[in-house]
Amino acid sequence: MNPTPVQLPDCLYCRRDQRLHDLMIEVTPLAVSTLYLFKEQTYRGRCVVAYRAHVNELFELPEAELALFMQDVTRAARAMKTAFGPAKINYGAYSDKLPHLHVHLVPKYIDGPSWGTTFTMMPEPKQLLAEADYTALIAQLRAALGA
């Protein structure tokens, strides 16, 4: 008897399909989540920490998982601060249109884009980098994480 195949929700984080690869690059797995570098780099070093399982709200996590997820977010933010030296990191946890628990980590630089105000989710024109530049940012993050 064959087991029933697991049906993944139509979610780019769960399916890890082309939609995900068009937006971000995987940096490394963390305790209960995955760290991604956003391809759009108006905010140099912008990342996303996405919880591995398909939930939408923080309160859906058991306390131990919530603690681990927040430790992942903190660890990623600390690595971003070490790697890129932003003046501040903004945190955004939206999922109106993409119901999967994830937190945007947006480094902000004095006199840089959106300093002193809320970051723009999808700025135009897009700041896309060369592959070598993404590779360098990821290497800096991994070094700061000790990964």
Contact 81, 87 (CB under 8 A): no
State the average pLDDT over residues 10-33: 96
Please say whether the beta carbons of 110 and 48 come within 8 A. Answer: no
> Mean pLDDT across the chain, nearest whole number?
94
Look at residue 125 and give its three-state secondary structure: coil
pLDDT at 8 over 90: no
Strand 102-108 with 88-92, pairing: antiparallel
Per the listing, tokens 């105000």 go with 117
Give the separation between CA 80 and CA 45, rounded to whole angstroms: 7
> Which DSSP string corresponds to 3-71?
PPPP---S-HHHH--HHHHHHEEEEEE-SSEEEEEES--SSTT-EEEEESS----GGGS-HHHHHHHHH
CATH class of the 12-145 domain in this structure: alpha beta
Mean per-residue pLDDT for 66-86?
98
Report the range of poorest mean pLDDT among 2-6, 86-90, 115-119, 121-125: 2-6
Please report the pLDDT score of residue 95 as a whole number. 83
Boundaries of every domain in the chain? 12-145
Judge contact between 138 and 37, C-beta under 8 A: yes
pLDDT at res. 6: 59
- What pLDDT, on a 0 to 100 scale, did the predictor assign at position 35? 98
pLDDT at 33 over 70: yes
pLDDT for 4:
53
